[in-house]
Amino acid sequence: NKMDLVPHAQEKIRKILASKTVIYKKKGETDKALDCINTLLVNEPSSYSLLSEKASLLTKLGRTAEAAEVQKLADANKPVAETPDLGGCLIATATFGSSLSAEVQQLRDFRQNTIYSSAAGTEFMFAFNAWYYSFSPHVADFIRANSWTRPPMQCILTPLISILSLAKSASLAFAPHTELSAVIAGLIASSLISLVYLFPIVLILQATARQYQRSVTGPALVKTLLGLGVFSSLLLLCGYFFSIRLLHLVGSSLFVISVFLVSAFGAALICDRWIVTRTGNESMG
């Protein structure tokens, strides 16, 4: 029988079953892990990640013919840009070994319960999925085929998962207002992701450019990016008040991009000015 429960209770049960599946797999109790997957599939019969997980477990149990049939069904439900896999991130699933791992569940929880809870977030995910699913299946396949890539990929993705968890926690203060909550989550996530991943690259480029008396940052660039952020915020407001999907789509995408870029380049500009000021003071001294 399907679990006829409120969404919150269903999600809680899903997490428990997902955790049990991972535990059973680690213990080598494949049959019990398969039972958990079958229970999850009752409510999500078309989940690509769950079907793929089931096929993998059936293969381990030696039920190859059945595994092949399940894998065919999984492939038929393989996510594309228009129909994203709501069960988890393809790259994270390949990196952490299972769509039911705690890390993938955190990513799924952020996407489903924070971003998809708002109109702006939903439209942003439409644009994001079009980009993400254009390459992620190939990256995921490469990771699965080359196990040596998993440790470095885990190191790369772990800060991202922590950032999204922090962004979700911060956005809960605005939870009654789903649109504002999603915007706050996007603002925090985009800025921190930028500082962790893009900022070091910009610093290196700036240091290299300085050797040739050039610069990759500057007040004009940062002001332009800030202007883009203000413009995107206005689009989001118009999309919210007039319920125009296109404005939500464009506004949310530009907002995330502008915050992402201004965080890295703005921080790099501050660092560059600090270095120049300090160097000048030392020269005078």
Each domain of the chain, given as residue ranges in start order, spans: 7-77, 90-283
Q: What would the mean pLDDT of 134-144 be, rounded to a whole number?
A: 90
Whether residue 282 has pLDDT greater than 90: no
What pLDDT was estimated at residue 175?
77
Q: Are 77 and 46 in contact (CB under 8 A)?
A: yes
Please tell me the predicted confidence (pLDDT) of residue 100.
Answer: 77
pLDDT tens-digit series, residues 98-107: 877 888 888 8
Kindly report the CA angle at 109 between 89 and 191, in degrees rounded to 5? Answer: 80
Topology annotation, domain 7-77: 1.25.40
For residue 85, pLDDT over 70 is answered with no
**Is residue 264 within 8 Å of 202, Cβ to Cβ?**
yes
Instruction: Report which residue type is found at 187.
Output: L
Contacting residues for 25 by C-beta, under 8 A, at least 6 apart: 33, 57, 98
Q: What is the pTM of this model?
A: 0.74
Residue 4 binned pLDDT confidence (cut-offs 50, 70, 90): very low
Q: Please, which contacts does 156-160 make with residues 24 or more away whose CB atoms are closer than 8 Å? A: 157/91, 157/92, 157/95, 157/96, 157/103, 158/103, 159/196, 159/197, 160/193, 160/196, 160/197
Which amino acid is present at 195?
L
